[in-house]
């Protein structure tokens, strides 16, 4: 099966996806893992701020705001 991977920052508001890969390193990677952003986790894009950055995502029942820079390093597969 061919995977349809996109960066999390490109996930349309209201859509869900499954996290497949984190391409960040160091403290940022540790923070993302601590927030529950691990492979297989379902994430939903909830809201964009008025300026367009950050975006709020529903991750395991918690709403987490991520900047585009961070969300661009998370690859997801559309549901």
- Per-residue pLDDT of 28-79, as tens digits, reads 889 888 888 999 999 999 999 998 899 999 999 999 999 999 999 999 999 8
Written as one string, the DSSP assignment of 9-42 is GGSPTT-EEEEEEE---HHHHHHHHHTT--TT-E
Q: What is the pLDDT of residue 3?
A: 67
Q: What is the pLDDT of residue 52?
A: 83
Q: What is the pLDDT of residue 74?
A: 94
Q: What is the pLDDT of residue 4?
A: 85
User: 77 versus 1: which is more confidently predicted?
Assistant: 77
Task: Write down the pTM of the prediction.
Answer: 0.87
Provide the CATH number for the domain around residue 35.
2.30.30.90
State how many domains the chain has.
Answer: 1
H/E stretch holding 43 reads: strand 42-48
Q: Token digits for 17?
A: 């996806």
* Residue range(s) defining the domain that contains residue 73: 5-78
């Amino acid at each position: 099966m061919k995977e349809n991977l996109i960066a999390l920052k490109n996930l349309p508001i209201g859509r869900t996806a499954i996290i497949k890969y984190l391409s960040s390193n160091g403290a940022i990677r540790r923070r993302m893992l601590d927030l529950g952003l691990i492979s297989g986790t379902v994430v939903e894009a909830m809201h964009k701020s008025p300026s367009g950055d950050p975006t709020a995502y529903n991750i395991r029942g918690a709403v987490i705001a991520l900047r585009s820079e961070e969300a661009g390093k998370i690859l997801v597969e559309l549901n």
